[in-house]
Chains A and B, each alone.
Chain A
Amino acid sequence: MTRTLTRHLIHLTLALCCAPLALAAEPAALTASATVSTPERAAPATGVPLARFMATSGPIRLEGAAGRMDISLPVSARETVQHAQLRLVATNSVSLLGERSQLAVRLNGRTVVQLPLSPRQPEIVADIRLPVALLKPGYNTLSFVAAQHYSLQCEDPAAPELWTEIDTVRSTLTLDTALKPITPVLADLPDLLAPTQSPGEILNIVTPGLPQPALLAAGGIVAQGAALRLRYLPLTVRHASAQVATPRGAGALAGLDTRALNGDAVLIGTLDALKPYLAADVATRIKGAFLAIYPMPSDPKRFVILVSGRNDAEVASAASAFAWQSTPFPRQAELNVAAIRIPEMPDYAAGGRIAQPGSYRFSDLGFSTRSVEGTQAQPLTLTMSLPADTYAPEDAYIELALDFAQGARMRNDSVLNIFLNGNFQQVVPLDEERGGLMQRYRVRIPLRDFKPGSNTLTFSPRMTPQQEGACATYQTGNLQFTLFDSSLITLPQVFHFTLLPDLQRFALSGFPYTVRSSGEQLGVWLASRDSDTIAAAWTLLGKLSQRKSIPLTQVRYGYEQPAGARHTLLLGASDRLPVAALKGAPWLPGRHFTQPALSNQALPVNNPGWLSSTWHWLSGGLRTSLDTPTIGPVAVDGNARLDGQLLTMQYRSPFSSKSTLTVFTSDDPAALSAGMARLVDPRYWDNLRGDVALVSQDRDTVTWQQVGARYEYGGIGLRDRLGFYFSQHPWLWFVLTVILLVLLAALVARLIRLYHRRIHRNVAEQQEPR
């Protein structure tokens, strides 16, 4: 069967944010990785704009005598590509010399087509059939390489008229693919559940009846395991109750009716509960925690993973084994798990994250030694993540100790520019005439310039030859730069202290729910017992684990309020939400809502005054506050319904002042499940802000606001807490200091008087003023 998939490719940077684990596993894919997501599986076979494959918006500009741009095309190992076509729409400079200028399109390094760049016909529209034989499973590189000249003689290779522009909206890529029949083993899981797979796939988690808390937890772990394999690709989970096949079929899952399942599935439950759905020989092989994979009885291109055991604990162990498996091993369909030992995880642990003070090698953060050359050298990128609640004192710096090599005889204005999240921060002059190896070159960047969560450090070498000009003979082979992965990044002592609620921090890393790395502080509270609410919870947990990059195996699930002071995620239809849990909520669906008095962008800026502006100039701009004042919202009491929208709100838990409650709700369970499927899409998830966010079906973005009271979270010790307060209230600091000094002065005066009385009791003193 042939299927045509329309691929919605996610922004590269979003992918990087989503999948820190990917950094270590496949660094090469980072620079141009892309993935697919579409909610509509039956979309017509239209091409996908090239812009969806790219990290930046706007057209591709190929500049200079040799311009080049690479983009990545993901292809799933489960699929056979039957047809691939590129529609290229481009414009070139009318100053180009037609005889010598051309645009080549290459796939994985092989030239697919050459197009002349003519000044007389500067508009190019070309339909290019890409050889499917060149497409391999994984990430494929599609390159646009322009050779551009304006003269047959010597010329300036950086002349401004040397350009070609590819329209990334009108240029499209069409891939027709078909799933392959499979005979799966457990070692195939990394290919079967991979970020290169078709987007919009739904994972069915099948349980015998509505799951009880233990099975809910195991299902959550399975959902996380699947989501982690997809790295940054959103995973939508659906819950289904197992149906007995009538009549029984063949194979390992002879008793399971899978016809209604539209996609891959995981069957999960205890041996006793699953016996009706399993072949007798399979049931006899379950002697403990059991993990297996079989073809789906109703569709051999699909698979069913069996997660079982003789009791709930063994089921949980099997689910954990699935969630933690990351290597293609073992090459067998079934595995009896005797025990699983998970290492102790420090708090804030996550892939690519630096949380503890100390020095980290670039290699530990997924950076490999890379060399670049030439005048238009590609920037080198290091991505690292900070905990979402990092509180940086003003005098805290992150220090880089760079190991790099530079070429010789470069012009002395050659530099290495260092950008943090796109903002220029520092520069290293590459002015060693004789070139050389520089070790531990120290660069400091204020910690406050880093943002919580993912940060991108970009090292952009700008190297210039000593001779340059239209007719000068020069070479660029000496313009070499290598950044070694032995370079260090040093994190100073940081504190974990912030203000909540903040859905942005939640979206960044699941904060504060994922501070404890196995999810010990997280409770999931389902307000109703139905498949849609369960599916929504599992989908959400899958997303959180992707943010964390490790499975949260200690999460407590239930249909009641979680015991203890756990941070809680509450999911349910609005009319099923417990009233007690809504105490302190910024919105009460159906009864009360708020809206900003002024939009966030329109908040008035106070005139700083001469003194403040002078100080600002002197100090180079200081930020003093973690929080910023806002104008209160307009509150409306009324019977407004959500009408299919997903409402997300975060506030201090009414059950424990140290805990945070985040509510996900909609009008009904189906809308909740659908809303959650949308929310985990990066377009929505990455725009979560404030304490109230609305996801609507008809909008491509999240509507958010900050209306509730904020509260502190974390601890920075007495000294730093004082520093935090005094930074905002220096008068208070002064008054407190004066009070203590007056007290101290009084006590010292008293001590002096007593000393005088004891030592100089009989001394007659002069009365002149002291």
Chain B
Amino acid sequence: MTQQPDRITHHAGLAALLALAVTVAMALLVSVPVDTLSQLTFAAIAVATILALRVLGHLPRCRLFFMMLAAFLTLRYVYWRTTSTIEYHGVADLMAALLLYCAELYGIVVALLGMFVNVRPLRRQPQPLPADPADWPTVDVFIPTYNESPDILEVTLRAACNLHYPRDKLRVYLLDDGGTEQKRGQNDTLKAITANVRLMQLTEMARRHGAHYISRERNEHAKAGNINAALRKSHGDLVAIFDADHVPTVDFLEKTVGFFVADPKMFLVQTPHFFINPDPIEKNLQMFGEMPSENEMFYSVIQHGLDFWNAAFFCGSAAVLRRACLEEVGGIQGGSITEDAETALALHARGYNSAYLGTPMISGLQPETFSGFVTQRVRWAQGMVQIFLMKNPLLLKGLTLPQRLCYFSSTFFWFFGFARVMFLVAPLAYLIGGLHIYDATFAEFVAYTVPHVVGVMLVSDFLFGKVRWAFVSELYELLQSFFSLPGIVQVLKNPRAPTFNVTPKGEQLEEDFISRLSGPFYLVYLLVLAGMGFAAWRYIAFPLERGVVLITLAWNCLNLLLLNAAIGALFERRQRRGTPRMPADLPAELVLYQHGEPLECRIDDLSATGARLVVPPGILPGPRTSDRAFLAVHNPALSRFSHLRVKIQNERELDDGSVALGVAFVEVQPVLLAEIVALAHGDSSRWQAYRQSRARQIGIGASLVRLGWLGARYAFDHSRAILDIVWGYVRDNFLHYGGLLARRLRRHGGEFITWISGAPR
């Protein structure tokens, strides 16, 4: 038995040696100085080969070759870009050129690391638990909260109590940082009363659902401190952590705890964060449900890739950790404001293992407003840059080389703000400022840059096309960059400066409005538009630079397209429903009060507060005397029928004659709440099916067109709203000052006419 690992090591060593030799040869080919025409010929053949493999459907089979060929084109570009395109034309030109070069290098490093990370994603099946429940470890469920509303918390708490796990081995804790002694004793009386009320409310709620309320003395170290305080008051072998709005499905522990039993060195099992509401950009561009959610790329592909290299990391929630491991490193780490990734890094460095299970088993909420979204993302960016600076994975002891590269990729990625701003400003530096920042001819651009860009896009589309449409990343990064960049600069100046800001969730937006963060985008938008004018001028005035002008103009056009979409996304759409409904497809029976006959129907969408029912044509009785009914539905999470009381709130006939009924759950007692929560949030297969339904690839061109169209449409709405505001302002002022003038004229009209006519008084 011991010979097998030896043989594996021997074979690996041999293969690695050969691979190293071939890599050296490839490095030689990468740096071969050839004529531009030959480079173009080579690149054209390479791109044609990739496209042929793609069209013929051979890419999955040739995955490695395809990625390497694209990487080869990229490295050729890097070699040429480094050796041939940076010239001194003046201090300002050189500075701008170097900044752009660094931004490009950033993008290339991230792309190459992405290829490495995703070279062979590992998609695990759930690890079964031992047959004898006595062998199962005890689990403490932590639900840390700070200021979330009790309504949101109750659903999560109830779902935690619904978890399928032996009662004697499961304890659920509500970790409240909103009711600490510090909060309750603060000088602001109103806030102190609110904290006291919160404590009482949540204590009662926990007691009602059979959970435990924990609070602490002082609010130190934010979420990490909250969890660490709870660790000292609990004793379970494992700790499952759910954010306040992350509602677990009932099978969460059944599917995750087995990994800990199978591997004593397992410290973490992470599962995806699955969101049931759109993020503000999806919402404002009306894309939710049509395209994959933004986080899908990370949770559907990248975490699987990280898992292969034993580098899947803790994401703060929807995860199970081993208490002993946590205690070994002093609990959740608090050096950065992304305590989750930092903790995983520390434990990986100690040789522990992690696993990522790709089944979505929580349903959560995303921030509803763009400002909330930015708050969350700036925190992530700052936290990851803190880790990059203070615990750089390339230098940290104990990590394997793949783990170093994976963590480096995960932390380095967050510098995108710098690159994105540079890519936005660079064409303007030439078009408006006349700076020479990229010394290349049109021919060289076609021979080196275009193949590199095409190669990277094809790889990205291949790896992530189903979960992230082309240019969507660019849009999200663009929207965050103006805020994350100052945040990163702040960290660079003082790595310990950032503080933990809680992401606001569950907000309700009563009406459309323009995001208060739109200012910088207006400025850049106007500059990009000006750049178009300058491009036209340069095209006419500098005939020798026409090739460069056209390239820069195309670049500027892409920026304009992205900015259009960004402007559209900054026009916040109203959202009245606090608990969003998610699609469902459940057979049910509806029994109307004072009718008695069960009516067959289907539940079309569902939340913890209500549902939409579709009743087949012709069976719904005519005038009804009551809006109340019973709903009987098979609850897949509990494997039994649930009987719920509902109130019909609206009714609408659909095109096929069926009737859609909007119902709200009423008379919800704690026991009934367990049924509803299990029905609405307890079935992981429903989330899985929904996620898969969104995962579709539309191609690079279609994605660009779609984004362009949506951007134009919603940017138009945005600009119309601006015009409305301006018009309202003008109208109000006109009416105000017009009225004043009219009154004055009425009062002094005669004198005025005399004065105008010059007649003597």
Contacts and interface: CB of A to CB of B under 8 A. Distances in A.
A755 to B, nearest CB: 7
B12 to A, nearest CB: 5
Interface in B11-38: 11-12, 15-16, 18-19, 22-23, 25-26, 28-29, 31-38
Contacts of B446: 618
Given A723-B32, A744-B68, A747-B18, A770 B121 contact: yes
A770 B121 CA distance: 7
Contacts of B68: 741, 744-745, 748
B124 A759 contact: no
Given A722-B29, A766-B124, A737 B72 contact: yes
Interface stretch (A169-177, A546-554, A724-732): A724-732
Interface string A555-581: 000000000000000000000000000
Contacts of B308: 756, 760
B33 A395 contact: yes
Interface stretch (A79-87, A104-112, A619-627): A619-627
Contact of B25 (A615, A740, A750, A765): A740
B125 A765 contact: yes
Interface string A711-748: 00000001110110011101101101110111111011
Contact of B26 (A727, A744, A756): A744
Contacts of B60: 769-770
Contact of B15 (A722, A742, A747, A760): A747
A712 to B, nearest CB: 17
Nearest to B121: A770
Given A619-B37, A759-B310, A736 B443 contact: no
B539 interface: no
Interface string A387-401: 000000111000000
Interface string B432-475: 00000000011100100000000000000000000000000000
A734 B32 contact: no
B38 A624 contact: yes
Contact of B38 (A728, A756, A763): A728
Interface string B1-17: 00001001001100110
A726 B36 CA distance: 11
**Interface of B: prevailing SS:** helix
A618 B550 CA distance: 13
Q: Is the interface of A mostly helix, strand, loop or mixed?
A: helix
B289 to A, nearest CB: 22
A698 interface: no
A737 B122 CA distance: 29
A1 interface: no
B693 interface: no
A125 interface: no
Contacts of B35: 394, 622-624, 727
A437 interface: no
Contacts of A754: 8, 11-12, 15
Q: Chain A interface residue count: which class?
A: 35 or more
B120 A730 contact: no
A768 B45 CA distance: 32
Contacts of A758: 5, 8, 12
A630 to B, nearest CB: 21
Contacts of B358: 766
B46 interface: yes
A727 B34 contact: yes
Contact of B41 (A623, A730, A741): A730
B536 interface: no
A764 interface: yes
A741 B69 contact: yes
B329 interface: no
A749 to B, nearest CB: 6
A69 interface: no
Nearest to B122: A760
Contacts of A759: 310
Nearest to B25: A740
Q: Which of B19, B442, B547 counts the most A-chain CB atoms under 10 A from its CB? A: B19
Contacts of B28: 718-719, 722
Contacts of B38: 624, 726-728, 730, 733
Contacts of B33: 393-395, 719-720, 723
B64 A745 contact: yes
A393 B36 CA distance: 10
Contacts of B127: 764
A624 B37 contact: yes
19 contacts: A394-B33, A620-B443, A622-B35, A624-B35, A719-B28, A723-B33, A730-B34, A730-B38, A737-B42, A741-B72, A744-B23, A748-B68, A751-B12, A755-B12, A756-B122, A760-B122, A762-B262, A765-B123, A768-B123
Given A723-B32, A730-B42, A764-B124, 14 more contacts: A394-B36, A622-B37, A719-B31, A722-B28, A722-B29, A726-B32, A726-B38, A730-B39, A730-B45, A737-B42, A742-B65, A743-B22, A759-B310, A766-B358
User: Ordered nearest first, which 9 A-B pairs have the shortest CB separation?
Assistant: A619-B443, A730-B41, A745-B64, A747-B19, A730-B38, A723-B33, A764-B125, A745-B65, A727-B35
Interface of B: 5, 8, 11-12, 15-16, 18-19, 22-23, 25-26, 28-29, 31-42, 45-46, 49, 60, 62-65, 68-69, 72, 83-84, 88, 119-125, 127, 262, 308, 310, 358, 441-443, 446, 547
